[in-house]
Amino acid sequence: MTARLFAAALSLAVSLSSYAASGEHFAFGHPATASQATRTVELTLGDMYFEPKALTIKAGETVRFVLVNKGALLHEFNLGDAAMHAAHQQEMLKMVASGMLTATGMKHDMAGMDHGNMGMKHDDPNSVLVEPGKTAELTWTFTKATDLEFACNIPGHYQAGMVGKIAIAD
Ligand SMILES: [Cu+2]
């Protein structure tokens, strides 16, 4: 196993344990493991765009998103509706103001200090941060027909165009 693969496996294991512990559920579905995926979708994240900009998924599908950051800035891939993204943008503004989140990365030492830091953590199961030049993954089971957005909620990015549509069809 290469060092890079090992690091990817390790970060996956860490993210799996964090959402298993939180047990969060969303109206539109839930996180899954890569081995449960029925489909893989590769998305490019750039400064300030997603490619492709729209996806169609069938209700019941488990999709492994492979997220390639080809930009020079830190980006996020977050699944939700417009109201969820608006709320998350407010949280991320606070993370930037506190110095926890910079233009190119997350300060992990601060991210763990959630008690002294107003409860701020970036560990939502429907979201992943991708550092410049890196690839990250998120696997999600979509359980019902609805319209969602995938978005980057780092301050200013959504407004600059980092948002796309996901239509989940019956
Ligand atoms: Cu972004």
- Residue-level pLDDT at 50: 98
Quote the CA–CA distance of 90 and 154 in Å, as a whole number: 9
CA of 164 to the centre of ligand 1 (A): 12
Structural domains of the chain, with CATH: 3-169 (2.60.40.420)
Omega before 162 within 30 of 0, i.e. cis: no
Quote the CA–CA distance of 161 and 170 in Å, as a whole number: 28
DSSP letter at 35 equals G
pLDDT level of residue 20 (50, 70, 90 thresholds):
very low
Mean pLDDT of the chain: 86
pLDDT tens, position by position, 78-107:
999 999 999 999 999 999 999 999 999 988
Contact 86, 158 (CB under 8 A): no
Give the ranges where 43-142 is alpha helix by DSSP (H).
82-97, 108-111
Give the ranges where 40-119 is alpha helix by DSSP (H).
82-97, 108-111
Among 150, 88, 147, CA closest to 122: 88
CA of 162 to the centre of ligand 1 (A): 6
Tracing tokens 């027909």 back to the chain, one arrives at: 145
Quote the CA–CA distance of 47 and 49 in Å, as a whole number: 6
CA of 75 to the centre of ligand 1 (A): 4
pLDDT tens, position by position, 100-140:
999 999 887 655 544 445 566 788 999 999 999 999 999 99
pTM of the model: 0.81
CA of 1 to the centre of ligand 1 (A): 31
